[in-house]
Chains A and B, each alone.
Chain A
Amino acid sequence: EDQVTQSPEALRLQEGESSSLNCSYTVSGLRGLFWYRQDPGKGPEFLFTLYSAGEEKEKERLKATLTKKESFLHITAPKPEDSATYLCAVQRNSGYALNFGKGTSLLVTP
């Protein structure tokens, strides 16, 4: 059975303090690994899709990387507006369903 484990569950950073969020996964035939941002009471907002080990993608202060067992979301010099829950999800080769992890709740304080 597929497993997606995100760590830490919660992370508090000072503004400007860079860090990384981890997503470990076990999946039978990975098609893609997705990162989303979710604000309270809102729907997930798409950030990145990674398809193969070694792939990296960047968007503003965020950079996502992928290995065969895990993905990292690096946040460089975060700002308070980066505060949100970050979700990782995997998609199998055999279908289109996204299997989500529980997320990492990030709080960035001024």
Chain B
Amino acid sequence: EPEVTQTPSHQVTQMGQEVILRCVPISNHLYFYWYRQILGQKVEFLVSFYNNEISEKSEIFDDQFSVERPDGSNFTLKIRSTKLEDSAMYFCASSASGSRNEQFFGPGTRLTVL
């Protein structure tokens, strides 16, 4: 069964450093998403991406964040100048279409900022 994969599973970084989280969405899916979940809190939407551009973003997704689809299979989230409060699980998701669709989530990357 096709699934979303994410690397690395755990990333530890120093405050102020840049990190890139990687995702391989399900191969025939066209819509890609990033969510985060701070420990003990709810899953929060960050951004959606379609046709090589951002289609929707939340207030959390400020200039510190960027997304890219560098090739036909990968989807990345870059976090510049990380802060302690960026520590969270980051989930990538993908869906076949925008409306009337299921979003399938990856296993997540645990980001720890020291």
Contact = CB atoms under 8 A, between A and B. Distances in A.
Interface string A39-77: 001111110010100000000000000000000000000
Interface in B69-114: 89, 91, 93, 95, 98-108, 110
B42 A42 contact: no
Interface stretch (A10-18, A20-28, A96-104): A96-104
Contacts of A32: 100
Contacts, number: 64
Contact of A98 (B55, B89, B100, B103): B103
A102 B108 contact: no
Contacts of B12: none
A110 interface: no
A44 B43 contact: yes
Nearest to A45: B105
B65 to A, nearest CB: 15
A31 interface: yes
Specify the main secondary structure of chain B where it touches its partner. strand
Interface residues of A, number: 23
A102 B38 CA distance: 11
A42 B58 CA distance: 23
A93 to B, nearest CB: 8
Contact of B91 (A31, A43, A46, A96): A43
Given A43-B105, A97-B58, 14 more contacts: A32-B100, A36-B105, A42-B108, A43-B91, A43-B106, A43-B108, A44-B91, A51-B100, A95-B48, A96-B48, A96-B98, A98-B45, A100-B44, A101-B42
